[in-house]
Amino acid sequence: MHPKRKQRLLVIGVLVCGVGLTTALVLNALNENINLFYPPDQIVAGMAPIDQRIRAGGVVVEGSVFRETGSMTVSFLISDLAGSEVPVTFEGILPNLFGEGQGIVANGRLGADGVFVASEVLAKHDENYMPAELAAMAGRKPPMGNEVDSGSNSYSAGG
């Protein structure tokens, strides 16, 4: 290769490495702020700020969804499936994909009592896609949506 071209290629290489390193350091420094939500273990460990607008994310614990009679308030537990659980209350309309065993991200404030008061609940979808027949064979249920099924012990009439 022509020495001049070799030199230009080297300059570009150094430029890309330099910018890459800078970006890596900046992203590393910002790491906590880029995360969209706090997982349950960090909230339980007291790493999430109290009474500030934050997001909490986790999987809705099976059998933990409870609806108050005559109001829109729903309470449930979110878990990281590794032992940590955080209670969440929410008043409003849940997304269609909300259901027990589904991942969610809630926007709201963590109270001093450890209960997360959500003002918005978003459903998190995982990377798996399946037709209904295959899902039934694999023992997966479709979501309950906004209606908690009558078989659940936490079901209460109304709505």
Partner 1 sequence: MKYIPDALRRLWHRMGSPRWFYETTGPWVPWLAAAAALLIGVGTVWGLAYAPPDYLQGDSFRIIYIHVPAAYLAQAGYILMAICGVVLLVWRMKLADMVMATVAPIGAAFTFLALATGSIWGKPTWGTYWIWDARITSVLILLFLYLGIMGLRRAIERPEAAGRACAILAIVGVINIPIIKYSVDWWMTLHQPATFSVTSAPAMPAIMWVPLLLNVLGFNLLFAVSVIQGTRTEVLIRERRTRWVTDLCRGEQA
Q: Which of residues 98-127 bind partner 1 (CB under 8 A)?
A: 105, 120-127
Q: Is 101 exposed, middle or buried (0-12, 13-18, 19+ CB in 10 A)?
A: middle
Q: Which of 29, 112, 132, 157 binds partner 1 (CB under 8 A)?
A: 132
Nearer to partner 1, 109 or 124 (CB): 124
* Per CB under 8 A, 81 contacts partner 1: no
Distance CA 101, CA 115 (A): 20
* Per CB under 8 A, 39 contacts partner 1: yes
Placement of tokens 């709505």 in the chain: 159
**93 phi, psi to nearest 5 deg:** -95, 125
Distance CA 91, CA 148 (A): 15
- Give the SS3 label for residue 40: helix
Binding segment (CB under 8 A) for partner 1, from list 10-18, 61-69, 70-78, 150-158: 10-18
* Per CB under 8 A, 31 contacts partner 1: yes
Using CB under 8 A, list all residues that contact partner 1: 1, 5, 8-9, 12, 15-16, 19-20, 23, 27, 31, 34-37, 39, 57, 94-97, 105, 120-136, 140, 142-143
